[in-house]
Amino acid sequence: MKEFEDRFSELQADMISICMEFVEDRADKVYVYASSEEGIISSRFFYLINNKYVKSHKVNDALTEGEEKYDISHKRGFMVLNIINEDIEKIKKLCEEYERDMPTEMKLIFDVRSGKYKAEYKYDLVYTNDDIKTAGHIADEVV
């Protein structure tokens, strides 16, 4: 039992870690939205920086004058999303291996200053049973 929990936690920590790397460990909070539903994998990440909530491609908008800009190239952004998506796949395989339900949605929040970590999970279908909403719509609602 402990091995499942440890591996599950490690994969979530990896998602947070790659998001921290994206902002060179300079953020107040990191938010990761990860979804796996009916074969569709989706993810987003965003931040609280200087009391401003910003999507990953807008992190430089939250900086104060004189703060060093982040490298927000498309290549780096897609690298982060690819790693998060790979971690979602690994969590899916882990859940199958241990015959556990795979969350359809994971919302991870890491408070950099306090070191506190919070995770929320859903197991019901969130968007594949909706005629209009897509994974992207749901992820954008989080921000």
Nearest residue to 142 via CA among 62, 34, 61: 34
- Rounded CA-CA distance 79/87 in Å is 12
**More confident: 37 or 99:** 99
Q: What is the pLDDT of residues 54-98, one digit of tens each?
A: 999 999 999 999 999 999 999 999 999 999 999 999 999 999 999
Q: pTM here?
A: 0.88
Length, in residues, of the chain: 143
Specify the CATH class of 2-142 in words. Answer: alpha beta
Predicted confidence at residue 63, as pLDDT, reads 95
CB 84 within 8 A of CB 18: yes
Return left, alpha or beta for 99; rule: phi > 0 is left, psi -120 to 50 is alpha, else beta. left
Phi/psi of residue 88, nearest 5 degrees = -60, -45
CB 34 within 8 A of CB 43: yes
- Rounded CA-CA distance 34/121 in Å is 10
Q: For the chain, give every domain's residue range.
A: 2-142
CB 95 within 8 A of CB 101: yes
Q: What is the pLDDT of residues 107-141, one digit of tens each?
A: 999 999 999 999 999 998 765 565 565 556 555 65
Q: Give me 28's structure tokens.
A: 């107040």
Question: In DSSP terms, which residues pair with 81 in a beta bridge?
Answer: none
